[in-house]
């Protein structure tokens, strides 16, 4: 591998989604010979799927994913693998994104090797190390060693300053996930989404998107899936569309409450493009995920967040999201709020809560 000035790191699907707009922009500004796209392979199949959506290929892939991997084993593999790469070829910068194991360990390896670290999506905080686990700890670790912090919002910048980060090293750029959303919504709608929406329409149903996968929610899935079932019983014109996450954390609750349900469509895990185009037709979203809070609220869709905390309070403050927890009655109340609030007449980037869709240009300008 030739020596490049910038390494952009990706290990999971969300990292690809939020790093590829920056990759495109740096290639445009600096030339392809100065930019490398480095994969860890933390989530191999989902990583490949997301790369295919943007029609890009990795410069190099560590391929760390193993059967029955743990946080400890994957952390060690990324740290060791990136450390070995830095010994062979040191870039000037590595850009990590968000709060994954890949991002945290790559940033730590870069710090040890004397490589400068830029943090895309810096400053998100829930202030609870267990929620989300282990992401909250990962992003705090990155903030300690990062040389530049690209904060998506003013709230994120304030969180970093409160922790002692030099304000001169922080830039508010918006979130590159909105760049990816803008690009994706301009692509043709996938046939799979068209078929699903047609099926629902023929059955007189309007879609509500459900995503559920958080480790810390595994024990409480039963409660909020019970709320989902009660809500559907009260609203016969709605249908839950539930793409099963590969970690199957919610599968027992889904099997218990959704088997044979007329108003539920359980489908395989959707690609990023399918998710965005499906999202654009939904009434609202029920989720314990992270990035989808940004995408849905940006499009003007109400978001029911089934978590105890969220690092994306901007959507709550803007009146686009409710932090519902996971108890049956609170989730049910939040879903009733979302239904009453309703979706916008036109899908698209309707709100500048997490950025205007041009964050990558602002980040590249500062590197």
Annotated catalytic sites, by residue?
99, 121, 135, 213, 215, 245
Residue with tokens 């994120």: 156
Question: What does the DSSP assignment read for 127-158?
Answer: S-TTTTTTHHHHHHHHHHH-SEEEESSHHHHH
Q: What are phi and psi of 237, to 5 degrees?
A: -90, 5
Contact by Cβ (8 Å): 236, 204: no
* DSSP-based three-state secondary structure for 7: strand
Q: What is the DSSP letter of 355?
A: -
Q: What are phi and psi of 322, to 5 degrees?
A: -125, 130
Pick from 44, 46, 26: nearest CA to 36: 26
Q: How many CB atoms lie under 10 A from the CB of residue 200?
A: 18
The pair of structure tokens assigned to 340 is 């009453």
Q: Which residues lie across from 118 on neighbouring strands?
A: 95, 148
Pick from 327, 347, 348, 329: nearest CA to 337: 329
Reading phi first (left if > 0) and then psi (alpha if -120 to 50, else beta), residue 344 is in: beta
* DSSP-based three-state secondary structure for 270: coil
Reading phi first (left if > 0) and then psi (alpha if -120 to 50, else beta), residue 64 is in: alpha
Angle (CA) 54-273-262 rounded to 5° is: 160
């Amino acid at each position: 591998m030739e020596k490049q000035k910038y390494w952009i790191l990706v290990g999971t699907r969300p990292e690809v989604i939020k790093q590829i707009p920056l990759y495109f922009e740096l290639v445009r500004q600096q030339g392809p010979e100065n930019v490398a796209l480095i994969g860890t392979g933390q989530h191999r199949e989902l990583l490949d799927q997301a790369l295919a959506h943007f029609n890009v290929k990795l410069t190099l892939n560590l391929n760390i994913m193993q059967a029955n991997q743990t946080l400890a084993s994957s952390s060690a593999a990324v740290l060791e693998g990136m450390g070995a790469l830095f010994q062979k070829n040191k870039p000037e910068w590595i850009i990590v994104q968000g709060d994954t194991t890949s991002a945290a360990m790559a940033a730590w390896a870069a710090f040890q090797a004397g490589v400068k670290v830029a943090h895309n999506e810096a400053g998100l905080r829930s202030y609870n190390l267990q929620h989300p686990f282990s992401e909250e700890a990962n992003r705090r670790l990155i903030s300690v060693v990062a040389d530049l912090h690209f904060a998506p919002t003013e709230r994120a910048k304030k969180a970093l300053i409160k922790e002692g980060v030099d304000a001169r090293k922080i830039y508010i750029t918006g979130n590159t996930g909105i760049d990816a959303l803008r690009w994706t919504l301009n692509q043709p709608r996938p046939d799979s989404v068209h078929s699903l929406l047609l099926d629902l329409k023929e059955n007189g149903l309007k879609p509500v998107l459900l995503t559920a996968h958080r480790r810390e929610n595994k024990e409480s899935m039963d409660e909020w899936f019970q709320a989902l079932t009660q809500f559907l019983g009260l609203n016969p014109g709605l249908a839950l569309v539930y793409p099963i996450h590969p970690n199957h954390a919610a599968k027992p609750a889904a099997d218990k409450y959704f088997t044979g349900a007329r108003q539920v469509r359980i489908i395989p895990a959707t690609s990023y493009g399918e998710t965005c185009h499906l999202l654009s037709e939904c009434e609202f979203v029920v989720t314990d995920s992270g990035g989808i809070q940004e995408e849905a609220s940006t499009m003007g869709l109400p978001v029911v967040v089934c978590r105890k905390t969220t690092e994306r309070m901007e959507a709550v403050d803007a009146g686009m999201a409710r932090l519902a927890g996971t108890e049956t009655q609170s989730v049910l109340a939040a879903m009733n709020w979302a239904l009453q609030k309703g979706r916008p007449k036109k899908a698209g980037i309707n709100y500048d809560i997490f950025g205007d869709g041009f964050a990558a240009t602002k980040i590249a300008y500062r590197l």
